[in-house]
Structures are given as structure tokens and as C-alpha cells.
Structure 1
Amino acid sequence: MIPILIFIIIFLLILNGLQYFLRVKMEKNLKEIHTRLSDIIINESAEKVLLQTDQEAVQLVLNQVNRFLSYNQKVKADYVKAKDSSSKMLSNMSHDLKTPLTVILGYVEKLNLNDNMTEDERKEVSDRLYQKTKDVINLLNQFFDLVKIDADDYAIPLKHVAINEVCRKTVLEFYELLKSKGIQVEIVIPEQPLYILGNEEALSRIFNNLISNSIRYGSDGGMFGVTVREEEEFVAVDIWDNGKGIETIHQDRIFERLYTLDDARNPEFQGSGLGLSITKRLTESMKGSIHLSSKPYEKTVFSCIFKRLIY
């Protein structure tokens, strides 16, 4: 009887010692995690808490701590990117507003201070003033539209839409302009309706922006085209030209807010840098995607791809 009692006592002492050892080891691991985590926070580093341990509970804590650190780094990176984007946006917006407003001020001063102008000269200056004012209003409207889209405050009701019909109507609005510029036009739009879940007004704006962009930057190639095609369960709209194209260094950023190519600051190619950004967001709001492929003076293509509805 006594040996059994002694055995039980020894067993309990060993168990108690083991628990004490594990508790001390646990406390040591947690202190080590605390120290390393404090260093990461103080130094604002992107490191992770690395610790070798065979304790499952500590491993679970480490996994969650490192997941939180990864998420925190992503939030910080997104914040820095958004701050940088906002700074550039304000800078570009300031430039794009300052230039036409300076021109408008010049026209107003010319009208007010020059009493020797003929009626025809006065009308010409007034017409230019009117057009510049419209340009500023259009720029502001684009800017506020983009802000509303980014804030999910831009209602886009979706319904079944025949995308080829919307595309055909939009192209017809530019047909005379294309012809007047001597641009050869190649249109491939199937007669049978190709339906998507979309919004006719948003689609018109997308195609309008892309066609305007193609005419502004690609008319030197002398060729413009629109192709509507089926791609498995999708419908793709390609708007293309044979102009100077878009260099590779610009292609990844062309859809950013207020991002413009170098020659976009040239009055001949004046653009706000908002059209393609709005186009991308409108396309994505209809669960679509937009892609760019460009080989200078060979073919530059903007492709909008949407899920096709089958009746």
C-alpha cells in the first residue's frame, strides 16, 4: 500500500514539475513574442515575428500575429499609394484647370480692353471663350463623376442590353468626323443581338471615351476600327487604330486617375487623364474588364470584355 502511495506522490510531483516547466516555457515564449512585436511596432519595420517552438498554442498565436502584421503592412502600403495618387491627382488637376482658366482670362481681358476689335473678331474671341469654358465644365464634370464612382455613389442600373447595337449607334456618331479626317474605317459588328447585363448609357460613355481617345492619339495611323466578337461565354468589343500607340512604360498606368502621356500636355493632344479611368471603372461596374495591347504604328487595341447572356 505504501509503495503505491509513494508512486502516486512521485507522479504528482513530476506532473506538477512538468506543468511548471511548460508554464515557464510558455511565459518565456510569450515574452519573446512581446519583445519582438514591440520592436517591429517601434521601428515600423515589415518584419514578422519568427520563433521556434513546439507549443501548439504559441504557434497559433504566432500565426495570428503574423497575419495581422501582414494585413497592417498592406493597409500602410495602400495608404501611401492613395496619398501619393491624391497628391498627383491634385497636382495634375491644378495644371489642367490653370491652363484653360488662364486662356479664358486672356479672352475676357481682350474683350474688355480692346475697343478696336471688329464685330467678326469679337465673335471669334467669344466663340473661343465659350468653347474653353465648356472644356473646363466638362473637366469638372468628369472629375466629380470619377469621385462618385469611386465612392460607390454612382447608380448604374443593369438590365439586358444588346451590346452590338449600343456599339453601332456610338460608332455612327463619329462616322462623319472620321471621314472628315481622312481616316479609313473598318467596322465588324454582327447583326444578331449579343446580350450582356449592362447599362446602355454607361456602355455609350465607355465606347465614346475609347473612340475619342483613338481619334485624338491614333489618327496619324490613318486607320480606325471597331470589332464586336464572341469569345466563348463572353462578348468582346475591340476599338483599335494603327497610330503611334502607347509605349510599354505607360501601359500599366494608363487607367490611373489623371495619368496622361507626355504629349497629352500638348494642346494638339489635350486630354484630362480622366476618360480612361472612368472607362475602366464603368466597365468593372458591369462586371466586365478592359485590356490594352499596343504596337506603335501597327495596332493599338482597347478590348472591353463582358459576360454574355444566353437566352
Structure 2
Amino acid sequence: MVWITIVLVLSISLNIYLYVKRTLHYKQLEYAHLKLQQIVQDKTDEKLLLYTDNTQIQSLLTQINRLVDYNQMIAADYNRIERSMRKMLSNISHDIKTPLTVILGYTEMIANDESLNRQQLKSLLKIVNSKAEEVIELINKFFELAKLESDDKTIDISKVNINEICRKKVLDYYDILSSRDFEVSILIPEENHYALVNEIEMERVLDNLISNAIKYGADGKMLGLELKADKKHVYIVVSDKGKGINEIHKEHVFDRMYTMDDSRNNLYQGSGLGLTITKTLVEKMGGEILLESMPYERTAFTVKLNKFIG
């Protein structure tokens, strides 16, 4: 009889324990559900905090928090892209409106001012043509970037002599640099370095960077171009001694449509497309572009490319 009583008491105790435990787990799960609902509804960056000794619930909470982190990251990226798109539309609208206003003004003058002589007409038409080319250039760059970012444009990669490209670009800009009294520092080794790139796109990258250095480094009156390599990579460094890029802008200078007074991302009528296109092209070729800047001492863009190893 005593044994039966003991077994009965143990059985009842066990059932009570299991009931309490199940109830506790239920409350924990209910809390997690309500808290997660609140996080999603209020779009906060909170996490699920729940102290429990149940390993299954701990594992579940860990995975839920990872999912929350991912969702918050996606939301942040979406908001950033949305802001970028709004700014892009604002910049594009402004940059197109300015030359179009000039075009409309001069065409109205040509149409209504009968006193204009042939030379004056020719001069006005030259301005109209120049402004029309600005609009076309901006539109072309905008759609080019859109194609690059949507993967609609294929860039073929092959073995390319980077020494020859660097020498060619120096010669292309020799007259401009001379006319502006730039000091030129060229460090291209005798040993040929080959990289896996697209030759045409690589020339465009250097065109963008050299033009950028001439335009925004004009105060320093110096252009540097250095080519070097290690066992795995080839490096092209384009530098100047101009006003440089403020520390707070370095992180964003390659962002699409990012413009500011102290930035250099104004290669195309202030649209903020130039350095973005340059970075995108480099990355499409499997490379990387880096920036370092000390105002009026040295501002350098370094293009890091995959070396051809035969």
C-alpha cells in the first residue's frame, strides 16, 4: 500500500512538473510571438531576449534573431536605394533642365531677333550645339550605368598589357597637362605587367581617373601615374596634390548619385555618375578601386587588378 502511495505521489508530481514546464514554454513562445509581431509592426531594431534553459527554444530564438537582422538589413538597403533614386531623379532633372533652359533661350533669340548677323547666328548655334551635347552625354552615361548595374552589358576579359595602356593614356593627355603647367610624375617599369581585363573598358577607367585628377587636382598642378605589381595583382595609382576629398565623404564618394561641394563625384555635369561608373567597370573586371586622400598633399585612386599568370 505504501509503495502504491509513493508511485501515485511521484506520478502526480511528474504530471504537475510537466504541466508547469509546458505552461512555461507556452508562455515563452507566446512572448516571442508577441514581441516579434511588435518588432515587425514598429520596424524597430530590437532583438528577441528570452532567458530559457530549453535548448530547442534557444535555437529557435537564435534563428529568429538572425532572420530579424536580415530583414532589418534589407529594409535599410531598400531605404538607402530609395533615397538614392530620389536624389538621382533630382540631380538628373536639374542637370538636364540647366542646358535645356539655355537651349530654349538661344533658340528663341535666334527665332525672334531679326537683327542677328551670320556670325552672331553661328556663335549662338555653337552654344546650342554644345549644350545639346551635354544633355546627350548625361543621358548616355545614365543609361550606361543602368546597363552595368542590371548585368545587361557583358565585359569580355582577356590578357592585356597594362604598361602599354598607361603609356598611351599619358600621351593622350600630354598636351592638356602641358598647357596647364602640370608637373607629371610617371612611374611605369620596363618589365611588362599583364592583367585580366577588358582593354577598352580599362582605357575608359584611366580616362575617368586622369580627367578627374586634372579637373579636381588643378590647385596642386601635379599628376602622378604609377604602375606596380606583386605576385597576384597589378596596381595602377592615379594621384594629384589638389584639394582632396574630405574624410567624411571618402566612404560615399563612389556611391551612385552622391554629390557634394567637397566631392569629386561630379565628372558628368554634377550628376554623380563618373566615379560610380569607374568603380562598377573595375569591379566588373574582377578588380577593386581604393581611395586615400590628404588635402594638398596626395589624393590617390588605386586600381587593383587580377594579374595574368602564364
Would you say same fold, with TM above 0.5? yes
Trace 1:228-247 onto structure 2 (pairs within 5 A).
228-247=227-246
Task: Report what 1:106 is aligned to.
Answer: 105
Trace 1:180-195 onto structure 2 (pairs within 5 A).
180-195=179-194
- Provide Cα deviations, 1:166-199, integer angstroms capped at 9, x if missing partner: 2222232211121122222222222332122211
- 1:10 shift after superposition: 5.8
Gaps of 5+ in 1: none
In structure 1, what residue type is equivalent to 2:233?
F
The alignment status of 1:79 with 2:100, answered yes or no, reads no
Task: Report what 2:288 is aligned to.
Answer: 289
In structure 2, what residue type is equivalent to 1:168?
R
1-structure distance, mates of 2:270, 2:20: 71
- Provide Cα deviations, 1:237-286, integer angstroms capped at 9, x if missing partner: 11112222222233222212222342789x9x954321111001111112
Task: Report what 1:207 is aligned to.
Answer: 206
2-structure distance, mates of 1:243, 1:224: 9
Task: Report what 1:41 is aligned to.
Answer: 40
SS in 1 for 2:139: helix
- 1:20 shift after superposition: 2.8
The alignment status of 1:92 with 2:81, answered yes or no, reads no
2-structure distance, mates of 1:157, 1:238: 23
2-structure distance, mates of 1:115, 1:247: 51
- 1:6 shift after superposition: 6.8
The alignment status of 1:223 with 2:249, answered yes or no, reads no
Task: Report what 2:196 is aligned to.
Answer: 197
1-structure distance, mates of 2:71, 2:193: 45
2-structure distance, mates of 1:264, 1:117: 42
Task: Report what 1:57 is aligned to.
Answer: 56
SS in 1 for 2:143: helix
Task: Report what 1:300 is aligned to.
Answer: 299
Task: Report what 2:114 is aligned to.
Answer: 115
Q: Is the CA contact (8 Å cut-off) linking 2:249 and 2:263 kept in structure 1?
A: no
- 1:111 shift after superposition: 2.0
- Provide Cα deviations, 1:123-166, integer angstroms capped at 9, x if missing partner: 22222221211111111111111111121222111112222222
Task: Report what 1:171 is aligned to.
Answer: 170
CA RMSD of superposed structures (Å) = 2.5
Identity fraction in percent: 43
Task: Report what 2:154 is aligned to.
Answer: 155
Task: Report what 1:248 is aligned to.
Answer: 247
Task: Report what 2:308 is aligned to.
Answer: 309
Q: Is the CA contact (8 Å cut-off) linking 1:264 and 1:270 kept in structure 2?
A: no
SS in 1 for 2:296: coil
Judging changes above 3 Å, is the alpha-carbon distance between structure 1 residues 264 and 136 closer, same or farther for their aligned structure 2 residues? farther
2-structure distance, mates of 1:257, 1:36: 37
2-structure distance, mates of 1:161, 1:12: 81
In structure 2, what residue type is equivalent to 1:306?
L
- 1:102 shift after superposition: 1.0
Task: Report what 1:134 is aligned to.
Answer: 133
- 1:8 shift after superposition: 6.1
Judge which range, 225-234 or 58-67, deviates more.
225-234
2-structure distance, mates of 1:256, 1:100: 25
Judge which range, 17-26 or 99-108, deviates more.
17-26
2-structure distance, mates of 1:175, 1:272: 27
- 1:4 shift after superposition: 7.1
Matched residues, number? 309
In structure 1, what residue type is equivalent to 2:148?
I
Judge which range, 190-199 or 61-70, deviates more.
190-199
SS in 1 for 2:120: helix
SS in 2 for 1:108: helix
